[in-house]
Structure 1
């Protein structure tokens, strides 16, 4: 009887007459742990945010989308190869920007040189290929900083700084601060809502949000699992090499990140500002745009299984600011794990948030979840605006004591 009552209450929370924000907050209320003298026990429920470039843009309107980020100037690359070599190898000129399609071709050519040594030209070897790849990554970091500065970690304050946040940023912070209060583990097994993150972005926006949701003397590094265990975090030994389940949330960067550096078979997280020359010598793990994406790097083999498990363990999925283009087949595969079969999707809800319209959003997700058209599973709820507006609307329904 109790289970039937719970199912009925959940169905009531998803009222088609309600707005997307109201429906989401109803689900938050439904899955949150309960206070009081005799609360009804609830399990731990994953609300997973799959964040694309639109998530960062909601936080910072200057944040670049893919075409902007991958339009780079050759001056950083010329630190490795002169103009003549660039022209012979790739047809590049020092006077022109490298356009996204050119970058895809360059990365593809480097990948082929690494994969098939027999096709390398006379003066290409393992060392200069590594240097050239480092230069491309340095150019992308430099390009991001030209468009909008990366929010580097403040070692003195031991925080990601946030000075004079905008109204939009305050709304997003309030939204995640509210969700942060919806879980409890003090009485035994954790129950309530756990927010999780999977992102295609390289930047530090999610880290900044998570760090500033916490108290000024606390740090996200104690509670955030990256899919791998870094041996060092911002120049200090990792303070939490093994996490406790009731405390930790995931932040999985499926395209790598500006802060992820390799140390042999290990990794460190370096959120400091580095010069292009430093980045060329010690490049971050980044999956750059290419004609054929090569995910053979050990980092991706480590993180991808964590993404698959998390998606399968998720009850409410929020796709934020990501258009899910058809050529991103691997990303669609990951999202498909949320509800691979019709039976998996029953009882699950996916929110698709970003500019557009209901029809196009449903058409895209019906390609990802074929059962959605026949079974309406998982249930789709759309929001055709930015995530900042969605967060602000959600806060209207939040308990004012927690916002």
Structure 2
């Protein structure tokens, strides 16, 4: 079964139990329709039908691996891409934005291409559009889709029955609670644990095992050299379209959104005084006075991270923050990371938090992920590229 790595070994997988009804039959089992989801038998890679189980759907059956895939969030899109099925996507959230961001990293994978431009933007998908897309599987969490006003349980069951199954888990992001009437129990997965389940969906277990082995090596390298907790820096994560509205995120929150930070054990600069995913001002930031600021989205091509740093330095309050004074405001990628982005973000976070141990993070202002000397890389780019391209 899936490798654990830091995302599951440092955060125990939990099960949340609720009263209420079991998910409809169309969600729990594969159903006939235009997709590849007719009911079947055990898992098989030889053209026979197979079943895979994931919360909250339970067991879902397929006739064959999906060739067209609806996604909503980028952790699922990246999983399909990592397994060599990046061209199968029919939809994803903000495709042009995330195409630009992901390609900043993919640039460093020789011979690998990624193109998500022009896909249907699925943040608030319509049922009518899902019929038009006619995807073989909806790699998305119905417990999340269902919180939107335009959707109810009957709509979700109709899509599963008439088009193709739902198969995804998103509330593991921060261990969110599903609606009380959604399912009897909801299971939380680590990033790489869920990736292993999605690999079974695509019948790409060999690709998964190869990538998971690389991830395990990266985690082992990190854990072998971490300093004592008292010697670790304080840190915060932020995201901002501009400096007038800064969202902040806690580095010690549970869930896969911290899969690139949790293995390093940085100390929460807020010390419990600020809630996750809230808007803060510079006064709040100065009161926390973090050693390191991790700026999500800072590597997206349209984001001028150099101008952001300058704006911090020019502000009379923000300029007093230790991270600003010591030039430790670092660009990062995205929280909804899949396995490929996670590998890069583990490496960059290692260098941003602990340059004396893992090597300096290059001064970054624009362009793709910086070139890192071979001896300071935490994973082999060519090996990852080969796995994505099917050279195992």
Fold conserved between structures, TM > 0.5: no
Larger radius of gyration, structure 1 or 2?
Answer: 1
TM-score between the two structures when normalised by the length of structure 1:
0.28
